[in-house]
Structure 1
Amino acid sequence: MALSKALAVAENCSVCLSGFREPKVLPCCHSFCLHCLEEAHEKTKDKKSLTCPQCRTQHQMPPNGVKGFLNDYTLIPSKEDTHTPATCQQCEDNNNVVAYCNTCSHICNECLAAHKRCKTFRSHEIVSGDEESQSKLQPKKTYYCTVHPEEGLKVYCKSCQVLACIYCFMSAHNGHDIRNIDNESRMEAEKTINELADITNSKLREFENNWKYISSVEKDKAESSAPIKDEISKKVSILIAKIKQKQKKMLQEIDDACTKDLKELWAQKEYHETAITSMEGALSFARRALACKEDTELLALSGADPGKTKGGG
């Protein structure tokens, strides 16, 4: 078993065998298309849980259904800004772009003021709106909200452990423990993931060693049983040979006894067949004698006694 294959990133959903569409990752760390999980959930009787199509682990359904499972952002293609747009990307006023935020993309004067005023945006790095200044920063990939597809994910809700756009933040995460998407949050997340990865790696090594041990025992058992099977086969062959030999002897004895009886019966049968033939001849002679018209002929033949035959009394 190549355990390293389990660490490879799947290119296609294992359910629909196509590229991932709105990929969701289950608590067991297996990812599937949103619609594939929804179809799988529709077929289940227990609507309060969802069974992983791959490892068959049952997971409790989130309050808002399958959509409540985490998005697998590692499988979601990001949209990257390739040029400077004419209008602000963060508001709907169509204001001209005056600056570039490495987190929020291109912004106008009002959004720039909000960045300077709000604590939420203080960690964001801002440069002027010209392309030469923007080139000093490495643009970040922009991931978009699944609820509001046109809105980028701006903050991280630690309470819900999900990324959220501004609209989701104001409607569904108000009052929650909201963190900026910055190096500090990343370092905290990396620390947590590394700790979990170390635990998982340790467990993986343990299970690999157990698997190897079980395979070794399985091989030993299979190999140790072969001589026993051979010995049993030999003994059975010997017993079968003895039984067949005994069978042959018994059949021969029966044949011999039967043949002896048959010979006696054959002798009696031959004796009676001879007597019957002789009697039939005598009766035929008697009829011919009685049919004679001349007395002389009849008296001449009367010297023969048809009763004194081989089979007579």
Structure 2
Amino acid sequence: MAAPQLSVSADRYSCSVCLEVLKEPVTIPCGHSYCMRCINNYWDQSKREGTYNCPQCRRTFNVRPEINRNTVLTEIMETLTEERVDASPSQSYAGPDDVPCDVCPVRRRSAVKTCMTCMISYCETHLQPHKEHGAYKRHKLEEPTGNIEEKLCAKHQKLLEIFCRTDGTCVCLLCVVTDHKSHDTVTPEEERAEKQSLLKKREDEMKRKVKVKEKTLKKMKKARMRIQVSLVSRLHIPMETNERRELT
């Protein structure tokens, strides 16, 4: 019986710190795996001394965890090294016009989603916790955006989720219960739907007026032709063929 084929997906067997195929893979207590050198360097450079976290799920450890070599992954990596197709990973790295992943610590990949709850942009690898863990299921994911600050309330640094019709501006939930407490507020979706409805009504009204004017113009043209026919018949002037057709 043939052995099952292993997936050679770089996203599946890559270290989320260096974004390369795992080298000397080790697993930390939360279950995520990294290159031994990468995770050690990452914790050595931790900004908050004495506190260590997982670069992927952000779980925090008060004591530097003991890391153990993952023998199963080591064997898989050895197999993949022999079968790996030489493909350039540079295509997935963020270019000048791309939104970069905010979690990649070294070479940043292009973000595939921006979480408006975390206010962070993620590449495919670092987006996995939002797909796998229930705690992230309610987070709001949008297409990658590089202007996150423009979607935050300048006063409370919260997401602009409500539209204030009174002031004609977007506000956060804290603004609604404070400065805009007595104002007419709706969700952006409701405001957008109402404006689209008004725009549709205006468009229909303009079409109606155009039809009325076209009908009036047609009547005026026929009246002009009748007058012309009357003059022609009185003066016995032959009509052009086109003029006869217009009368019919």
**TM-score computed with the length of structure 2 as normaliser:** 0.32
Tell me which of the two structures has the higher relative contact order, counting C-alpha pairs closer than 8 angstroms and 6 or more residues apart: 2
Rg larger in 1 or in 2? 1
Structure showing the higher helix proportion among its residues: 1
